[in-house]
Amino acid sequence: MHVIIIGNGISGVTAARWIRKLSDAKITIVSSETKHFFSRTALMYIYMGHMKAEDTKPYEDWFWEKNKIDLVYDHVDEITYDKNELVLSSGNTLPYDKLVLALGSKPNKFGWPGQDLDGVGGLYHFQDLENMEAFTPGLSHAAVVGGGLIGIEMAEMFKSRGVGVSLIVREQSYWNNVLPPEESAMVTRHIEDHHIDLKLGVNLEEITDDGSGRASGIIIKETGQKIACGYVGLTAGVSPNVSFLKNGPLEINRGIVVNNFLETSVKNIYAIGDCAELSDPKPGRRNIEAVWYTGRMMGETVAYTITGTPIPYDPGIWFNSAKFLDIEYQVYGDVRAQLPEDQKSLYWEHTDGDKAVRINYDKESGGVTGFNLMGIRYRHEVCEKWLAQKTHIEEVLKNLALANFDPEFYKEYESLIITKYNNLEGKSIQLKNKRSLSRVLSFLKK
Tens-place pLDDT, residues 215-270: 999 999 999 999 999 999 999 989 999 999 988 999 999 999 999 999 999 999 99
Dihedral over Cα of 286, 289, 293, 295: its sign: positive
446 has pLDDT over 70:
no
Q: What pLDDT is stored for residue 433 in this prediction?
A: 65
In this prediction, residue 54 carries a pLDDT of 93
CA torsion sign, 412 to 416 to 419 to 424? Answer: negative
Tell me the per-residue pLDDT of 318-353, one tens digit each, with 9 for 90 and over: 999 999 999 999 999 999 999 999 999 999 999 999
Q: Can you give the pLDDT at residue 432? A: 83
pLDDT value at residue 315: 94
pLDDT tens track for 187-200: 999 999 999 999 99
Report the range of poorest mean pLDDT among 107-111, 138-142, 268-272, 393-397: 107-111
| Residues 207-222, mean pLDDT to the nearest whole number | 97
Q: What is the pLDDT of residue 445?
A: 65
pLDDT at 353: 92
- The whole-number pLDDT of residue 319 equals 94
pLDDT at 45: 95
CA-nearest of 322, 351, 323, 325 to 194 is 325
Give me the domains of the chain, ranges plus CATH numbers.
2-106+239-306 (3.50.50.60), 120-236 (3.50.50.60), 319-445 (3.30.390.30)
More confident residue, 411 or 95: 95
Tens of pLDDT along 259-307? Answer: 999 999 999 999 999 999 999 999 888 999 989 999 999 999 999 999 9
Does the pLDDT value for residue 409 go beyond 60? no
- The Cβ of residue 363 has, within 10 Å, a number of other Cβ atoms equal to 10
**Residue 85 scores a pLDDT above 90:** yes
pLDDT score of 439: 63
Confidence category of residue 207, pLDDT binned at 50, 70, 90? very high
- pLDDT tens-digit profile of 143-188? 999 988 999 999 999 999 999 999 999 999 999 999 999 999 999 9
Residue range 9-50, pLDDT digits in tens: 999 999 999 999 999 999 999 999 999 999 988 999 999 999
Given this model, what pLDDT does residue 435 score?
61
- The radius of gyration of the chain from alpha carbons, rounded to an integer in Å, stands at 24
Instruction: State mean pLDDT over 126-137.
Output: 96
pLDDT value of residue 434: 67
Q: Are 132 and 121 in contact (CB under 8 A)?
A: yes
pLDDT at 438: 59
